[in-house]
């Protein structure tokens, strides 16, 4: 279990440093624009909501075992 936890921590730390906002983006800043996709104006709300939903799904799956 500790190995999986360490792997996920390393993954979460390294992935944002490799991320780009969109293909062909030359700058180092991360800017996301969801206005043309019909999603919320604030991408942070979407990301936090997704993380909360994933945590709840994980807890629910653990309870059912």
Give a yes or no: residue 12 inside a domain: no
Give a yes or no: residue 22 inside a domain: no
pLDDT of residue 31: 62
Task: Please report which confidence band the pLDDT of residue 9 belongs to, taking 50, 70 and 90 as the band edges.
Answer: confident
Burial 24-63 (b: 16+ CB within 10 A, else e): eeeeeeeeeeeeeeeeeeeeeeeeeeeeeeeeeeeeeeee
Which domain range does residue 51 map to?
A: 40-65
Number of domains within the chain: 1
Give a yes or no: residue 29 inside a domain: no
Task: Please report which confidence band the pLDDT of residue 51 belongs to, taking 50, 70 and 90 as the band edges.
Answer: very high
């Amino acid at each position: 279990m500790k190995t999986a936890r360490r792997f996920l921590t390393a993954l979460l730390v390294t992935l944002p440093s490799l991320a780009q906002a969109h293909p062909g983006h030359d700058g180092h800043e991360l800017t996301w624009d969801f206005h043309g996709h019909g999603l919320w104006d604030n991408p942070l709300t979407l990301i936090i909501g997704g993380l909360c939903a994933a945590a709840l799904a994980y807890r629910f799956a653990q309870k059912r075992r």
